[in-house]
Structure 1
Amino acid sequence: MRDKFYLYWGNRIDCPGKHCDSCEGLGHQESSLRCALEEAIVLRRTFVMPSRMCISPVHNKKGILHQSNDSHVEEIWAANFCAMDSLYDMELISKTVPVILDNSKEWYQVLSTSMKLGDRGVAHVEGVSRMELKENGFYANKLLINRTASPLSWFVECKDRKNHSAVLLPYSFLPSMAAKRLRVAADLVKESLGDYDAMHIRRGDKIKNRKDRFGVERTLHPHLDRDTRPEAIMCRIKKWVPPGRTLFIASNERTPSFFSPLSMRYKLAYSSNFSSLLDQVVANNYELFMVERLILMGAKTFIRTFGEDDNGLSLTDDPKKNTRNWQIPVYSLDDVCQT
């Protein structure tokens, strides 16, 4: 036991912090999980992974692009959590950073040993940087470093994410660590699609309008609604995706046939086209998105909703993160469809 050392951040991703009574979406929780895993890499410790991930009801609504007539499937989708190993392959993750689940026999043994050792075996830390944990000899031989005393959400511990040299795990790390059955399902879909392009289109959770004190409609992403409509998409992607190509669309749009106008130029495909396969594999929207992300990653040309780096293609030039600047929505296509 003592040849291993452990790092524990708690049994809920993003908790403690302001999301203890609820939880964020998969992407937000993955940002927090990557932060904790990066610290385990720096400290050369085994990370104690929560055995469950909270599922936010807001992010677990079945979109129009993936429906099922199976009432049992619909009932399963109503769950508010899922097993962590139903999303991720723990053996695969452990090739980069060793992990164990907090419902494993090994973790119970660690807890038992740490109780016997008391302060000699456990360091309860708050407000201590990972570099201090690494360089301060006081922590070096502690069996367990316990970060649950921190009142901060997990991702807040990684404030310097814009400094790429400080990021040890890329965004693509956890999506590529999907559970084996999800990877197999994605491979089958990709094989069926053949040579294809893909788009991830966020609408439902990002298009939020409100009226100011003068009754004027405002939104945080003034061009997003326009830029993710079929007519704007057609103009935007024509230089990237030639006519006649197979175009896989992953989206949280809930209006039936919303993207159908794109079929004038492309062969459209959605996860719903593969329901007979996916309904046997996915039990919630998080698992579905894990599969969809693998499909998106396999496309010849992949187009995101928001520009997330200098080299990626995106449907809108609006910044992804805007929490304060409410602006008047823009719907004119003049600056989109100029030839």
Structure 2
Amino acid sequence: MRGGDHCKSMNQFIWSFLCGLGEAKFLNRTFVMDLNVCLSGAHTPDGKDVDGKDFRYYFDFEHLKESASVVEEGDFLKDWKRWDKKKGPGRITVRKVPSYKTTPMQLKRDKSNIIWRQFNGQEPENYWYRVCEGRAAKVIQRPWYAIWKSKRLMNIVTEIAGRLDWDYDGLHVVRGWKAQYKKNYPNLDADTSPDALAAKVPMLIKPWRHLYIATNEPFYNYFDKLRSHFHVHLLDDYKELWSSNSEWYNETMALSGGKPVPFDAYMRVIVDTEVFYRAKTQVETFNNLTRDCKDGINTCNL
């Protein structure tokens, strides 16, 4: 049952989701999965949460079903309604677990047909990942192998890399709210300014290479000073790959019941990051461009 992780960052959602999946595997049970995802304001341009997204927009549900025992919640609830018509012996038994403090080890011998975890408390008591903390951390293995990025998005990644002949360098420039949060990131804004980038990047990447810039900087012309050193490529140079004429558009429409699906900020992050990972040389913001720490001051050595 959905807890306080709903509408948190995608990193927290996945950390909790894989905790639930890992517990189901530990208990030798099938995990009942809600495909509805809330995209946190951390991943949207206006900072507002957007509910009603589909897990399959971002991740490969077919691979997940091949890698783990899962059933989609809507299908499961239909079956449960049918099974529940039975009376007496053979009726479905349900164990409700209201708190994360009931450990997976305590549920190992439970004979109920359904174990129903509920997270009704206040944050952070209602975060699903709490189930996998403490002693449970030693027995629950998160099945990271089950989570692949959506094939629809990875097809865009392959197309972009292919157009660059798989021979390009990558620059990852993190700006956004971190650049404005001077208390935790005192140098980031200045260290990733157009002048600073024009001075630093040519010392790290050979001139006139194809340079793919993965970034959350919204101003397209922000990197123009690098164009006198490199053949610069940005995600928005490939907009036709998710336009209304694209394969991606048609495939996501099929998932959404015919409604157009916006190419949202988290999809951009996935494609940007995956194209960057395939670059020959990779220049990172927090390793190469700034003295600031990735998670704020005093966290560099964590």
Partner of 1:299: 279
Partner of 2:169: 197
Deviations 1:278-320 (A, max 9, x none): 22336222233332233223222334434xxxxxx55334333
Q: Give yes or no for the alignment of 1:59 onto 2:43.
A: yes
Task: Give the conservation status (yes or no) of the 8 Å contact 1:244–1:267.
Answer: yes
In 2, the alpha carbon distance for the partners of 1:264 and 1:27 equals 37
Q: In structure 2, the residue corresponding to 1:269 is in which secondary structure?
A: strand
Deviation at 1:236, TM superposition (A): 4.9
Q: Give yes or no for the alignment of 1:320 onto 2:290.
A: no
Partner of 2:28: 44
Q: Give yes or no for the alignment of 1:90 onto 2:64.
A: no
Q: Structure 1 residue aligned with 2:97, among 113, 124, 128?
A: 124
Q: Give yes or no for the alignment of 1:243 onto 2:223.
A: no
Partner of 2:113: 143
Q: In structure 2, the residue corresponding to 1:260 is in which secondary structure?
A: helix
In 1, the alpha carbon distance for the partners of 2:133 and 2:197 equals 34
Task: Give the conservation status (yes or no) of the 8 Å contact 1:48–1:101.
Answer: yes
Partner of 2:267: 287
Task: Give the conservation status (yes or no) of the 8 Å contact 1:248–1:268.
Answer: yes
Amino acid of the structure 1 residue aligned with 2:186 = P
| Pairing of 1:1-339 with structure 2 (within 5 A) | 9-10=1-2, 16-17=3-4, 23-57=7-41, 59-61=43-45, 80-103=51-74, 105-110=75-80, 113=83, 120-126=93-99, 127-133=101-107, 136-137=108-109, 139=110, 141-149=111-119, 151=121, 152-159=126-133, 168-170=142-144, 174=147, 177-194=148-165, 195-209=167-181, 218-234=182-198, 236-238=200-202, 240-279=204-243, 280=246, 281=248, 283=262, 284-306=264-286, 313-322=287-296
Deviation at 1:269, TM superposition (A): 0.8
Amino acid of the structure 1 residue aligned with 2:32 = V
Q: In structure 2, the residue corresponding to 1:207 is in which secondary structure?
A: helix
In 1, the alpha carbon distance for the partners of 2:233 and 2:78 equals 46
Amino acid of the structure 1 residue aligned with 2:93 = R
In 1, the alpha carbon distance for the partners of 2:216 and 2:205 equals 22
Amino acid of the structure 1 residue aligned with 2:79 = Q
Q: TM-score, normalised by structure 1?
A: 0.66
Amino acid of the structure 1 residue aligned with 2:157 = A
Q: What percent of counterpart residues are identical?
A: 25
The alignment covers a number of residue pairs equal to: 269
Q: In structure 2, the residue corresponding to 1:145 is in which secondary structure?
A: strand
In 1, the alpha carbon distance for the partners of 2:146 and 2:288 equals 21
Q: TM-score, normalised by structure 2?
A: 0.73
CA RMSD of aligned residues (A): 3.5
Task: Give the conservation status (yes or no) of the 8 Å contact 2:23–2:140.
Answer: no
Task: Give the conservation status (yes or no) of the 8 Å contact 1:90–1:99.
Answer: no
Partner of 1:332: none
In 1, the alpha carbon distance for the partners of 2:174 and 2:234 equals 14
Q: In structure 1, the residue corresponding to 2:19 is in which secondary structure?
A: helix
In 2, the alpha carbon distance for the partners of 1:230 and 1:118 equals 67
Task: Give the conservation status (yes or no) of the 8 Å contact 1:244–1:265.
Answer: yes
Partner of 2:252: none
Amino acid of the structure 1 residue aligned with 2:207 = P
In 2, the alpha carbon distance for the partners of 1:269 and 1:247 equals 6
- Greater helix share, structure number: 2
Deviation at 1:191, TM superposition (A): 0.6
Structure 2: runs of 5 or more not aligned: 250-261
In 1, the alpha carbon distance for the partners of 2:219 and 2:59 equals 31
